């Protein structure tokens, strides 16, 4: 595709519910990253995939957060038992190679609001 796409663009849910956020990376990009950005803050690293496997999930805040990338392309970030503090913009990025200096291309983000 032309760029990284994320769906939905906005998600409003109630406390305690389960949500899934989807990321479609640029075709052929092997590395995929998830970040969370709160208002007035920079993006905060959550998890990084190299192909199908999670190469580094050290940024996931707790075990309510989980992400998959079963075929090495599309990724889904899953949040169980959502809390109000989970409200933020969730950003996805991809890069051609899983090297830190490779340019990461970001999607527009999914704005999650937990009521």
Partner 1 sequence: SQKIEQNSEALNIQEGKTATLTCNYTNYSPAYLQWYRQDPGRGPVFLLLIRENEKEKRKERLKVTFDTTLKQSLFHITASQPADSATYLCALLRDDKIIFGKGTRLHILP
Q: Name the residues that contact partner 1, by CB under 8 A.
A: 4, 33, 35, 40-45, 48, 55-56, 58-59, 91, 93, 98, 100-101, 103-109
> Of 20 and 56, which CB lies nearer to partner 1 in the complex structure?
56
Closest CB to partner 1 among residues 41, 80 = 41
Nearer to partner 1, 18 or 65 (CB): 65
Least distance between partner 1 and beta carbon 9 (Å): 9
Q: Among candidates 52, 50, 51, 83, which has minimal Cα distance to 65?
A: 83
Shortest spacing between CB 108 and partner 1, in angstroms: 6
């Amino acid at each position: 595709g032309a760029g990284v796409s994320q769906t939905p663009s906005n998600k409003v849910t109630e406390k305690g519910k389960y949500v899934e956020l989807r990321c479609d990376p640029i075709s052929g990009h092997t590395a995929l990253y998830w970040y969370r950005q709160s208002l007035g803050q920079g993006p905060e690293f959550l998890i990084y995939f190299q192909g199908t496997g999670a190469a580094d999930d050290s940024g996931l805040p707790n075990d309510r957060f989980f992400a998959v990338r079963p075929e090495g392309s599309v990724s889904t970030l899953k949040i169980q038992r959502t809390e109000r503090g989970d409200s933020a913009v969730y950003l996805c990025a991809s890069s051609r190679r899983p090297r830190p200096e490779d340019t990461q291309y970001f999607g527009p983000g999914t704005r999650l609001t937990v009521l």
